[in-house]
Structure 1
Protein backbone atom coordinates (compact mmCIF):
# COMPACT_ATOMS: atom_id res chain seq x y z
CA UNK A 1 0.00 0.00 0.00
CA UNK A 2 2.98 2.34 -0.46
CA UNK A 3 1.29 4.30 -3.24
CA UNK A 4 -1.87 4.91 -1.20
CA UNK A 5 0.16 5.81 1.89
CA UNK A 6 2.32 8.28 -0.03
CA UNK A 7 -0.72 9.95 -1.58
CA UNK A 8 -2.46 10.26 1.77
CA UNK A 9 0.62 11.84 3.36
CA UNK A 10 0.88 14.32 0.49
CA UNK A 11 -2.77 15.29 0.80
CA UNK A 12 -2.52 15.79 4.55
CA UNK A 13 0.61 17.88 4.15
CA UNK A 14 -1.15 20.09 1.64
CA UNK A 15 -4.09 20.62 4.00
CA UNK A 16 -2.00 21.49 7.03
CA UNK A 17 -2.65 25.02 8.28
CA UNK A 18 0.22 26.79 10.08
CA UNK A 19 -0.47 28.51 13.39
CA UNK A 20 1.49 31.53 12.22
CA UNK A 21 2.52 32.96 8.91
CA UNK A 22 5.30 35.30 7.94
CA UNK A 23 4.33 38.62 6.41
CA UNK A 24 6.60 41.04 4.61
CA UNK A 25 10.01 41.56 6.22
CA UNK A 26 9.49 38.53 8.45
CA UNK A 27 6.59 40.04 10.42
CA UNK A 28 4.76 37.24 12.27
CA UNK A 29 1.05 37.04 11.51
CA UNK A 30 -1.15 34.92 13.76
CA UNK A 31 -3.47 32.53 11.91
CA UNK A 32 -7.15 33.10 12.66
CA UNK A 33 -10.01 30.63 12.73
CA UNK A 34 -11.86 31.31 9.46
CA UNK A 35 -15.04 29.57 8.36
CA UNK A 36 -13.63 29.42 4.81
CA UNK A 37 -10.40 27.66 5.76
CA UNK A 38 -9.42 24.72 3.50
CA UNK A 39 -10.18 22.07 2.55
CA UNK A 40 -13.98 22.24 2.92
CA UNK A 41 -14.62 25.70 4.35
CA UNK A 42 -17.50 27.95 3.39
CA UNK A 43 -18.04 31.67 3.66
CA UNK A 44 -20.31 32.79 6.48
CA UNK A 45 -22.95 34.89 4.69
CA UNK A 46 -23.76 36.85 7.83
CA UNK A 47 -20.09 37.69 8.29
CA UNK A 48 -19.76 38.76 4.66
CA UNK A 49 -22.78 41.03 4.97
CA UNK A 50 -21.34 42.63 8.09
CA UNK A 51 -17.96 42.90 6.35
CA UNK A 52 -19.53 44.70 3.40
CA UNK A 53 -21.12 47.14 5.83
CA UNK A 54 -17.72 47.88 7.38
CA UNK A 55 -16.22 48.28 3.92
CA UNK A 56 -19.06 50.56 2.83
CA UNK A 57 -19.00 52.86 5.86
CA UNK A 58 -15.27 52.83 6.64
CA UNK A 59 -12.98 51.48 3.93
CA UNK A 60 -14.83 52.93 0.91
CA UNK A 61 -14.16 56.46 2.14
CA UNK A 62 -10.55 56.11 0.98
CA UNK A 63 -10.17 52.80 -0.85
CA UNK A 64 -11.58 51.60 -4.16
CA UNK A 65 -12.58 48.07 -5.17
CA UNK A 66 -12.70 48.50 -8.94
CA UNK A 67 -13.07 44.83 -9.82
CA UNK A 68 -16.31 44.38 -7.89
CA UNK A 69 -19.81 45.13 -9.14
CA UNK A 70 -22.82 45.56 -6.87
CA UNK A 71 -24.49 42.55 -8.51
CA UNK A 72 -21.68 40.35 -7.16
CA UNK A 73 -23.16 40.87 -3.69
CA UNK A 74 -26.07 38.63 -4.66
CA UNK A 75 -24.19 35.87 -6.44
CA UNK A 76 -23.92 32.30 -5.05
CA UNK A 77 -21.05 31.78 -2.63
CA UNK A 78 -21.05 35.43 -1.62
CA UNK A 79 -22.84 37.65 0.92
CA UNK A 80 -26.18 36.37 -0.34
CA UNK A 81 -28.05 39.66 -0.54
CA UNK A 82 -31.42 39.41 -2.28
CA UNK A 83 -31.92 41.08 -5.67
CA UNK A 84 -33.99 43.79 -4.00
CA UNK A 85 -31.28 44.38 -1.40
CA UNK A 86 -28.59 44.61 -4.10
CA UNK A 87 -30.64 47.19 -5.98
CA UNK A 88 -31.11 49.18 -2.78
CA UNK A 89 -27.41 49.06 -1.91
CA UNK A 90 -26.41 50.15 -5.41
CA UNK A 91 -28.91 53.02 -5.43
CA UNK A 92 -27.33 54.49 -2.29
CA UNK A 93 -24.31 55.72 -4.27
CA UNK A 94 -24.11 58.33 -7.00
CA UNK A 95 -22.36 57.23 -10.20
CA UNK A 96 -20.81 59.62 -12.72
CA UNK A 97 -22.22 58.78 -16.16
CA UNK A 98 -22.47 60.34 -19.58
CA UNK A 99 -22.01 62.29 -21.61
CA UNK A 100 -25.67 63.18 -22.08
CA UNK A 101 -27.25 64.76 -25.17
CA UNK A 102 -25.57 68.07 -24.32
CA UNK A 103 -22.13 66.50 -23.90
CA UNK A 104 -22.13 66.86 -20.12
CA UNK A 105 -21.35 64.23 -17.49
CA UNK A 106 -24.04 63.71 -14.89
CA UNK A 107 -24.74 61.91 -11.62
CA UNK A 108 -27.26 59.09 -11.28
CA UNK A 109 -28.14 56.47 -8.65
CA UNK A 110 -26.15 53.26 -8.99
CA UNK A 111 -27.57 50.05 -10.45
CA UNK A 112 -26.46 46.44 -9.79
CA UNK A 113 -24.32 46.30 -12.95
CA UNK A 114 -22.19 49.27 -11.84
CA UNK A 115 -18.71 48.76 -10.44
CA UNK A 116 -18.16 49.76 -6.82
CA UNK A 117 -17.87 53.53 -6.76
CA UNK A 118 -14.34 54.81 -6.20
CA UNK A 119 -13.96 57.60 -3.62
CA UNK A 120 -11.67 59.64 -5.88
CA UNK A 121 -11.81 60.60 -9.55
CA UNK A 122 -8.23 59.44 -10.16
CA UNK A 123 -4.96 58.54 -8.43
CA UNK A 124 -3.78 62.16 -8.39
CA UNK A 125 -6.89 63.22 -6.52
CA UNK A 126 -6.42 60.33 -4.09
CA UNK A 127 -2.81 61.34 -3.36
CA UNK A 128 -3.78 64.97 -2.92
CA UNK A 129 -6.39 64.01 -0.33
CA UNK A 130 -4.02 61.72 1.62
CA UNK A 131 -0.81 63.74 1.98
CA UNK A 132 0.77 62.07 -1.04
CA UNK A 133 -0.10 58.48 -0.05
CA UNK A 134 -2.16 56.45 -2.51
CA UNK A 135 -4.75 54.22 -0.78
CA UNK A 136 -4.47 50.84 -2.54
CA UNK A 137 -7.37 49.22 -4.34
CA UNK A 138 -8.88 46.46 -2.17
CA UNK A 139 -10.32 44.21 -4.88
CA UNK A 140 -7.68 41.51 -4.52
CA UNK A 141 -5.85 42.74 -1.42
CA UNK A 142 -6.50 39.50 0.48
CA UNK A 143 -4.56 37.59 -2.20
CA UNK A 144 -1.94 40.24 -2.86
CA UNK A 145 -0.45 40.22 0.65
CA UNK A 146 1.40 37.37 2.32
CA UNK A 147 -0.87 35.96 4.99
CA UNK A 148 -4.05 36.96 3.16
CA UNK A 149 -6.97 37.62 5.52
CA UNK A 150 -4.74 36.85 8.52
CA UNK A 151 -2.52 39.75 7.50
CA UNK A 152 -5.47 42.10 6.96
CA UNK A 153 -6.87 41.24 10.39
CA UNK A 154 -3.45 41.69 12.02
CA UNK A 155 -3.00 45.04 10.27
CA UNK A 156 -6.40 46.38 11.33
CA UNK A 157 -5.89 45.30 14.94
CA UNK A 158 -2.17 46.08 15.07
CA UNK A 159 -2.27 49.79 15.91
CA UNK A 160 -0.63 50.85 19.14
CA UNK A 161 1.98 53.02 20.79
CA UNK A 162 5.45 52.94 19.27
CA UNK A 163 8.33 51.72 21.45
CA UNK A 164 10.26 54.50 23.16
CA UNK A 165 13.40 53.74 21.15
CA UNK A 166 11.63 53.92 17.77
CA UNK A 167 11.65 57.18 15.82
CA UNK A 168 8.37 57.70 13.99
CA UNK A 169 8.18 59.78 10.80
CA UNK A 170 5.78 62.70 10.79
CA UNK A 171 2.19 61.71 10.08
CA UNK A 172 2.86 57.98 10.43
CA UNK A 173 1.10 55.53 12.76
CA UNK A 174 2.71 52.62 14.59
CA UNK A 175 1.43 49.20 13.52
CA UNK A 176 2.85 45.85 14.59
CA UNK A 177 1.86 44.01 11.38
CA UNK A 178 2.86 46.58 8.76
CA UNK A 179 6.35 46.25 7.25
CA UNK A 180 8.60 48.70 9.04
CA UNK A 181 5.83 49.23 11.61
CA UNK A 182 5.01 52.69 10.23
CA UNK A 183 1.83 53.18 8.24
CA UNK A 184 0.25 56.33 6.82
CA UNK A 185 -3.34 55.13 7.37
CA UNK A 186 -4.78 56.16 10.74
CA UNK A 187 -6.59 53.49 12.75
CA UNK A 188 -9.92 53.24 10.90
CA UNK A 189 -11.78 51.02 13.38
CA UNK A 190 -13.13 52.30 16.67
CA UNK A 191 -15.92 50.77 18.72
CA UNK A 192 -19.37 51.74 17.51
CA UNK A 193 -18.25 53.26 14.19
CA UNK A 194 -20.51 50.78 12.35
CA UNK A 195 -23.84 49.62 13.76
CA UNK A 196 -24.55 45.90 13.57
CA UNK A 197 -28.19 44.78 13.50
CA UNK A 198 -27.78 41.02 13.97
CA UNK A 199 -26.67 41.04 17.58
CA UNK A 200 -22.92 40.91 16.85
CA UNK A 201 -20.97 43.21 19.16
CA UNK A 202 -19.75 46.32 17.29
CA UNK A 203 -16.13 46.00 18.43
CA UNK A 204 -12.95 46.78 16.46
CA UNK A 205 -11.99 43.11 16.66
CA UNK A 206 -15.27 42.00 15.05
CA UNK A 207 -15.06 44.79 12.47
CA UNK A 208 -11.55 43.68 11.52
CA UNK A 209 -12.47 40.02 11.21
CA UNK A 210 -15.66 40.69 9.26
CA UNK A 211 -14.12 43.06 6.73
CA UNK A 212 -11.09 40.74 6.30
CA UNK A 213 -13.47 37.89 5.46
CA UNK A 214 -15.35 40.14 3.04
CA UNK A 215 -12.12 41.12 1.29
CA UNK A 216 -11.13 37.45 1.06
CA UNK A 217 -14.40 36.76 -0.73
CA UNK A 218 -13.85 39.81 -2.96
CA UNK A 219 -10.42 38.49 -3.96
CA UNK A 220 -11.61 34.91 -4.49
CA UNK A 221 -15.39 34.78 -4.99
CA UNK A 222 -15.20 31.23 -6.43
CA UNK A 223 -13.39 29.82 -3.39
CA UNK A 224 -16.20 27.48 -2.33
CA UNK A 225 -16.52 26.14 -5.86
CA UNK A 226 -12.76 25.60 -6.01
CA UNK A 227 -12.86 23.64 -2.75
CA UNK A 228 -15.61 21.39 -4.14
CA UNK A 229 -13.64 20.72 -7.33
CA UNK A 230 -10.50 20.07 -5.29
CA UNK A 231 -12.33 17.57 -3.06
CA UNK A 232 -13.61 15.68 -6.10
CA UNK A 233 -10.11 15.55 -7.57
CA UNK A 234 -8.62 14.27 -4.30
CA UNK A 235 -11.26 11.55 -4.05
CA UNK A 236 -10.63 10.57 -7.68
CA UNK A 237 -6.87 10.39 -7.14
CA UNK A 238 -7.27 8.31 -4.01
CA UNK A 239 -9.64 5.86 -5.72
CA UNK A 240 -7.38 5.76 -8.77
CA UNK A 241 -4.36 5.00 -6.57
CA UNK A 242 -6.21 2.11 -4.90
CA UNK A 243 -7.31 0.69 -8.27
CA UNK A 244 -3.77 0.92 -9.64
CA UNK A 245 -2.35 -0.76 -6.54
CA UNK A 246 -4.85 -3.63 -6.72
CA UNK A 247 -4.20 -4.00 -10.47
CA UNK A 248 -0.48 -4.14 -9.84
CA UNK A 249 -0.96 -6.86 -7.21
CA UNK A 250 -3.21 -8.89 -9.52
CA UNK A 251 -0.77 -8.67 -12.45
CA UNK A 252 2.30 -9.54 -10.41
CA UNK A 253 0.49 -12.32 -8.56
CA UNK A 254 -0.16 -14.13 -11.86
CA UNK A 255 3.47 -13.69 -12.89
CA UNK A 256 4.68 -15.03 -9.55
CA UNK A 257 2.41 -18.10 -9.87
CA UNK A 258 3.63 -18.76 -13.42
CA UNK A 259 7.29 -18.46 -12.41
CA UNK A 260 6.68 -20.77 -9.47
CA UNK A 261 4.99 -23.41 -11.65
CA UNK A 262 7.78 -23.28 -14.25
CA UNK A 263 10.49 -23.66 -11.61
CA UNK A 264 8.63 -26.62 -10.11
Structure 2
Protein backbone atom coordinates (compact mmCIF):
# COMPACT_ATOMS: atom_id res chain seq x y z
CA UNK A 1 0.00 0.00 0.00
CA UNK A 2 2.78 2.40 0.96
CA UNK A 3 4.59 1.53 -2.26
CA UNK A 4 1.51 2.32 -4.37
CA UNK A 5 1.03 5.61 -2.53
CA UNK A 6 4.66 6.57 -3.17
CA UNK A 7 4.35 5.76 -6.87
CA UNK A 8 1.14 7.79 -7.14
CA UNK A 9 2.72 10.75 -5.35
CA UNK A 10 5.71 10.59 -7.67
CA UNK A 11 3.49 10.52 -10.75
CA UNK A 12 1.47 13.49 -9.50
CA UNK A 13 4.64 15.47 -8.78
CA UNK A 14 6.05 14.63 -12.23
CA UNK A 15 2.77 15.67 -13.88
CA UNK A 16 2.71 18.99 -12.05
CA UNK A 17 6.32 19.72 -13.04
CA UNK A 18 5.60 18.90 -16.69
CA UNK A 19 2.50 21.11 -16.73
CA UNK A 20 4.43 23.99 -15.14
CA UNK A 21 7.25 23.58 -17.64
CA UNK A 22 4.81 23.48 -20.55
CA UNK A 23 2.95 26.59 -19.40
CA UNK A 24 6.22 28.45 -18.87
CA UNK A 25 7.57 27.46 -22.27
CA UNK A 26 4.33 28.46 -24.00
CA UNK A 27 4.26 31.82 -22.21
CA UNK A 28 7.89 32.54 -23.07
CA UNK A 29 7.28 31.67 -26.72
CA UNK A 30 4.06 33.65 -27.16
CA UNK A 31 4.20 36.54 -24.71
CA UNK A 32 5.32 39.82 -26.21
CA UNK A 33 8.41 41.18 -24.49
CA UNK A 34 7.93 44.73 -23.26
CA UNK A 35 11.12 46.64 -23.97
CA UNK A 36 11.83 49.65 -21.77
CA UNK A 37 13.65 52.83 -22.76
CA UNK A 38 16.98 51.46 -21.53
CA UNK A 39 16.82 48.91 -24.36
CA UNK A 40 17.05 51.70 -26.93
CA UNK A 41 18.80 54.58 -25.18
CA UNK A 42 21.42 52.89 -23.01
CA UNK A 43 24.81 53.32 -24.72
CA UNK A 44 27.67 50.86 -24.68
CA UNK A 45 30.79 51.95 -22.81
CA UNK A 46 33.20 54.14 -24.74
CA UNK A 47 37.00 54.24 -24.70
CA UNK A 48 38.91 57.53 -24.35
CA UNK A 49 40.60 58.95 -27.43
CA UNK A 50 43.95 57.20 -27.80
CA UNK A 51 42.85 54.21 -25.72
CA UNK A 52 44.51 53.03 -22.51
CA UNK A 53 48.28 52.75 -22.09
CA UNK A 54 47.83 49.54 -20.08
CA UNK A 55 45.78 47.69 -22.70
CA UNK A 56 47.20 44.71 -24.56
CA UNK A 57 49.98 42.25 -23.77
CA UNK A 58 52.61 45.02 -23.86
CA UNK A 59 50.56 47.55 -21.93
CA UNK A 60 52.27 49.70 -19.30
CA UNK A 61 51.03 52.12 -16.66
CA UNK A 62 51.16 55.79 -17.55
CA UNK A 63 52.55 57.00 -14.20
CA UNK A 64 51.69 60.64 -14.91
CA UNK A 65 48.09 59.65 -15.63
CA UNK A 66 47.88 57.58 -12.45
CA UNK A 67 49.09 60.54 -10.41
CA UNK A 68 46.52 62.80 -12.07
CA UNK A 69 43.86 60.18 -11.35
CA UNK A 70 44.85 60.14 -7.68
CA UNK A 71 44.39 63.91 -7.60
CA UNK A 72 40.89 63.59 -9.08
CA UNK A 73 40.01 60.87 -6.58
CA UNK A 74 41.46 62.90 -3.72
CA UNK A 75 39.67 66.14 -4.56
CA UNK A 76 36.39 64.77 -5.92
CA UNK A 77 35.67 61.10 -5.27
CA UNK A 78 37.05 60.68 -1.75
CA UNK A 79 34.20 62.74 -0.29
CA UNK A 80 31.87 59.76 -0.82
CA UNK A 81 33.98 56.73 -1.81
CA UNK A 82 36.72 54.90 0.04
CA UNK A 83 39.73 52.82 -1.05
CA UNK A 84 39.84 50.37 1.81
CA UNK A 85 42.22 47.92 0.10
CA UNK A 86 44.85 50.52 -0.80
CA UNK A 87 47.53 51.61 1.69
CA UNK A 88 49.26 54.97 1.50
CA UNK A 89 52.60 53.20 1.06
CA UNK A 90 51.29 51.66 -2.19
CA UNK A 91 51.57 55.12 -3.76
CA UNK A 92 55.30 54.46 -4.06
CA UNK A 93 54.37 52.16 -6.95
CA UNK A 94 53.05 55.10 -8.98
CA UNK A 95 56.10 57.33 -8.62
CA UNK A 96 55.88 58.88 -5.16
CA UNK A 97 59.06 58.89 -3.10
CA UNK A 98 59.20 58.07 0.60
CA UNK A 99 58.88 61.69 1.71
CA UNK A 100 55.89 62.33 -0.53
CA UNK A 101 54.14 59.22 0.77
CA UNK A 102 54.71 60.28 4.38
CA UNK A 103 53.44 63.80 3.73
CA UNK A 104 50.40 62.54 1.86
CA UNK A 105 49.53 60.10 4.65
CA UNK A 106 50.07 62.71 7.38
CA UNK A 107 47.58 65.03 5.67
CA UNK A 108 44.84 62.42 6.11
CA UNK A 109 42.89 61.67 9.26
CA UNK A 110 42.42 57.97 9.98
CA UNK A 111 40.51 56.20 12.80
CA UNK A 112 42.52 55.69 15.96
CA UNK A 113 42.26 55.01 19.68
CA UNK A 114 43.08 57.54 22.39
CA UNK A 115 45.79 55.77 24.46
CA UNK A 116 44.69 57.59 27.62
CA UNK A 117 40.93 57.05 27.50
CA UNK A 118 40.57 54.14 25.08
CA UNK A 119 37.94 56.08 23.15
CA UNK A 120 37.73 56.15 19.36
CA UNK A 121 39.40 59.18 17.85
CA UNK A 122 41.27 60.21 14.71
CA UNK A 123 44.95 60.74 14.07
CA UNK A 124 47.30 61.69 11.28
CA UNK A 125 47.85 58.85 8.86
CA UNK A 126 51.00 56.78 8.50
CA UNK A 127 52.32 55.15 5.31
CA UNK A 128 51.14 51.77 6.64
CA UNK A 129 47.56 53.00 7.05
CA UNK A 130 44.88 52.41 4.44
CA UNK A 131 42.79 55.08 2.76
CA UNK A 132 40.03 55.96 5.25
CA UNK A 133 36.34 55.51 4.55
CA UNK A 134 34.50 58.84 4.38
CA UNK A 135 31.63 57.47 6.51
CA UNK A 136 31.73 55.62 9.84
CA UNK A 137 29.17 53.02 8.69
CA UNK A 138 26.62 52.20 5.98
CA UNK A 139 23.79 53.91 7.86
CA UNK A 140 25.62 57.22 7.81
CA UNK A 141 26.58 56.69 4.15
CA UNK A 142 22.96 56.04 3.14
CA UNK A 143 21.67 59.00 5.15
CA UNK A 144 24.08 61.34 3.36
CA UNK A 145 23.35 60.01 -0.15
CA UNK A 146 19.60 59.75 -0.57
CA UNK A 147 19.60 56.16 0.81
CA UNK A 148 22.19 55.02 -1.76
CA UNK A 149 25.41 53.67 -0.25
CA UNK A 150 28.43 54.75 -2.33
CA UNK A 151 30.53 51.67 -3.17
CA UNK A 152 34.16 51.34 -2.22
CA UNK A 153 36.27 52.00 -5.31
CA UNK A 154 39.28 49.77 -4.60
CA UNK A 155 38.07 47.00 -6.91
CA UNK A 156 35.35 48.81 -8.86
CA UNK A 157 36.95 48.25 -12.27
CA UNK A 158 37.03 44.51 -11.63
CA UNK A 159 33.54 44.46 -10.16
CA UNK A 160 31.98 46.08 -13.24
CA UNK A 161 31.98 44.66 -16.75
CA UNK A 162 34.46 46.49 -18.98
CA UNK A 163 35.51 48.28 -15.80
CA UNK A 164 37.92 50.98 -17.03
CA UNK A 165 35.63 52.02 -19.87
CA UNK A 166 32.62 51.76 -17.56
CA UNK A 167 34.05 54.27 -15.06
CA UNK A 168 35.20 56.61 -17.83
CA UNK A 169 31.86 56.49 -19.64
CA UNK A 170 29.75 56.89 -16.51
CA UNK A 171 31.63 59.94 -15.22
CA UNK A 172 31.51 61.70 -18.59
CA UNK A 173 28.03 60.53 -19.61
CA UNK A 174 25.68 62.87 -17.76
CA UNK A 175 23.31 65.08 -19.70
CA UNK A 176 19.69 65.78 -20.52
CA UNK A 177 17.43 63.00 -21.84
CA UNK A 178 17.24 63.10 -25.65
CA UNK A 179 14.01 64.47 -27.11
CA UNK A 180 13.20 61.21 -28.89
CA UNK A 181 13.16 59.38 -25.56
CA UNK A 182 10.18 61.44 -24.37
CA UNK A 183 8.48 60.93 -27.72
CA UNK A 184 8.79 57.14 -27.65
CA UNK A 185 8.28 56.72 -23.89
CA UNK A 186 6.04 59.50 -22.57
CA UNK A 187 5.95 57.86 -19.12
CA UNK A 188 9.72 57.99 -18.69
CA UNK A 189 11.04 60.59 -16.27
CA UNK A 190 13.99 61.27 -14.04
CA UNK A 191 12.65 61.41 -10.46
CA UNK A 192 13.94 63.99 -7.98
CA UNK A 193 17.23 62.80 -6.48
CA UNK A 194 18.22 60.86 -9.62
CA UNK A 195 20.21 61.97 -12.66
CA UNK A 196 20.07 60.94 -16.31
CA UNK A 197 23.11 59.09 -17.64
CA UNK A 198 23.00 57.15 -20.91
CA UNK A 199 25.89 54.91 -19.88
CA UNK A 200 24.12 53.71 -16.75
CA UNK A 201 22.08 50.56 -17.36
CA UNK A 202 18.82 51.98 -16.03
CA UNK A 203 19.46 55.51 -17.36
CA UNK A 204 18.67 57.17 -14.02
CA UNK A 205 21.44 57.07 -11.41
CA UNK A 206 21.58 58.26 -7.81
CA UNK A 207 25.09 59.73 -8.08
CA UNK A 208 24.96 63.37 -9.26
CA UNK A 209 27.42 64.66 -11.88
CA UNK A 210 30.79 64.92 -10.19
CA UNK A 211 33.06 66.60 -12.71
CA UNK A 212 33.03 70.07 -14.26
CA UNK A 213 35.68 71.57 -16.57
CA UNK A 214 38.64 72.97 -14.66
CA UNK A 215 37.50 71.46 -11.37
CA UNK A 216 40.98 70.05 -10.68
CA UNK A 217 44.28 71.82 -11.28
CA UNK A 218 46.84 69.33 -12.53
CA UNK A 219 50.44 69.79 -11.41
CA UNK A 220 51.74 68.93 -14.90
CA UNK A 221 49.58 71.55 -16.60
CA UNK A 222 47.24 69.10 -18.35
CA UNK A 223 43.89 70.68 -19.21
CA UNK A 224 41.26 69.35 -16.81
CA UNK A 225 38.36 68.63 -19.14
CA UNK A 226 35.59 66.30 -18.02
CA UNK A 227 36.83 63.62 -20.40
CA UNK A 228 40.44 64.01 -19.21
CA UNK A 229 39.54 63.79 -15.53
CA UNK A 230 37.25 60.83 -16.20
CA UNK A 231 39.99 58.96 -18.05
CA UNK A 232 42.61 59.76 -15.41
CA UNK A 233 40.57 58.59 -12.43
CA UNK A 234 39.43 55.49 -14.38
CA UNK A 235 43.08 54.61 -15.02
CA UNK A 236 43.92 55.18 -11.34
CA UNK A 237 41.06 52.91 -10.23
CA UNK A 238 42.24 50.27 -12.70
CA UNK A 239 45.60 50.38 -10.93
CA UNK A 240 44.01 50.12 -7.46
CA UNK A 241 42.11 47.03 -8.61
CA UNK A 242 45.16 45.31 -10.11
CA UNK A 243 48.38 47.08 -9.12
CA UNK A 244 50.58 44.17 -10.28
CA UNK A 245 49.12 44.02 -13.79
CA UNK A 246 52.25 45.36 -15.49
CA UNK A 247 54.51 42.92 -13.61
CA UNK A 248 52.13 40.10 -14.47
CA UNK A 249 52.35 40.87 -18.16
CA UNK A 250 56.16 41.10 -18.01
CA UNK A 251 56.32 37.77 -16.17
CA UNK A 252 54.03 36.24 -18.78
CA UNK A 253 56.40 37.19 -21.60
CA UNK A 254 59.34 35.75 -19.66
CA UNK A 255 57.44 32.49 -19.13
CA UNK A 256 56.50 32.29 -22.82
CA UNK A 257 60.15 32.85 -23.79
CA UNK A 258 61.32 30.14 -21.39
CA UNK A 259 58.75 27.65 -22.68
CA UNK A 260 59.72 28.38 -26.27
CA UNK A 261 63.41 27.88 -25.46
CA UNK A 262 62.64 24.66 -23.52
CA UNK A 263 60.60 23.34 -26.45
CA UNK A 264 63.43 23.95 -28.92
CA UNK A 265 65.94 22.41 -26.52
CA UNK A 266 63.76 19.33 -26.03
CA UNK A 267 63.37 18.92 -29.79
CA UNK A 268 67.14 19.14 -30.38
CA UNK A 269 67.77 16.66 -27.55
CA UNK A 270 65.29 14.26 -29.07
CA UNK A 271 67.01 14.54 -32.45
CA UNK A 272 70.41 13.91 -30.85
CA UNK A 273 69.28 10.90 -28.80
CA UNK A 274 67.50 9.18 -31.65
CA UNK A 275 69.95 10.08 -34.41
CA UNK A 276 71.83 6.74 -34.10
CA UNK A 277 68.67 4.66 -34.35
CA UNK A 278 67.98 3.67 -37.92
CA UNK A 279 64.39 2.97 -38.83
CA UNK A 280 63.64 -0.59 -39.94
CA UNK A 281 62.97 -1.06 -43.60
CA UNK A 282 59.67 -2.50 -44.52
CA UNK A 283 59.88 -5.98 -46.03
Q: TM-score range by the shorter chain?
A: 0.7 to 0.9
Q: CA deviation at 1:27?
A: 5.0
* 2:46 counterpart (30, 34, 51): 30
- In the alignment, structure 1 residue 130 sits paired with structure 2 residue 145: yes
* Conservation of the 8 A alpha-carbon contact between 2:60 and 2:246: yes
Tell me the TM-score normalized by structure 1: 0.81
**SS at structure 2 position matched to 1:71:** helix
- In the alignment, structure 1 residue 258 sits paired with structure 2 residue 282: no
Runs of at least 5 residues in structure 2 that lack an aligned partner in the other structure: 1-37, 183-187
Q: Tell me, in whole angstroms, the C-alpha distance in 2 between the residues paired with 1:262 and 1:103.
A: 92
Number of the residue aligned with 1:63:
81
**SS at structure 2 position matched to 1:55:** helix
Number of the residue aligned with 1:167:
189
* Conservation of the 8 A alpha-carbon contact between 2:135 and 2:141: yes
- Write out the 4+ residue segments of structure 1 that deviate beyond 4 Å after TM superposition: 24-27, 240-255
Q: CA deviation at 1:178?
A: 1.1
Q: CA deviation at 1:247?
A: 6.8
- Pick closer, same or farther for the CA change 1:244–1:177 going to 2, 3 Å: farther
- Pick closer, same or farther for the CA change 1:203–1:248 going to 2, 3 Å: same
Q: Tell me, in whole angstroms, the C-alpha distance in 1 between the residues paired with 2:276 and 2:168.
A: 60
Larger radius of gyration: 2
Number of the residue aligned with 1:13:
none
Within-5 A mapping of 1:103-252? 103-164=118-179, 165=182, 166-242=188-264
Which sits farther off after the overlay, 244-253 or 40-49?
244-253
Tell me the TM-score normalized by structure 2: 0.76
Number of the residue aligned with 1:12:
none
Q: Tell me, in whole angstroms, the C-alpha distance in 2 between the residues paired with 1:181 and 1:237.
A: 48
- How many equivalent pairs are there? 235
What is the Cα-based RMSD across aligned positions, in Å? 2.4
Runs of at least 5 residues in structure 1 that lack an aligned partner in the other structure: 1-23
Within-5 A mapping of 1:11-50? 28-32=44-48, 33-50=51-68
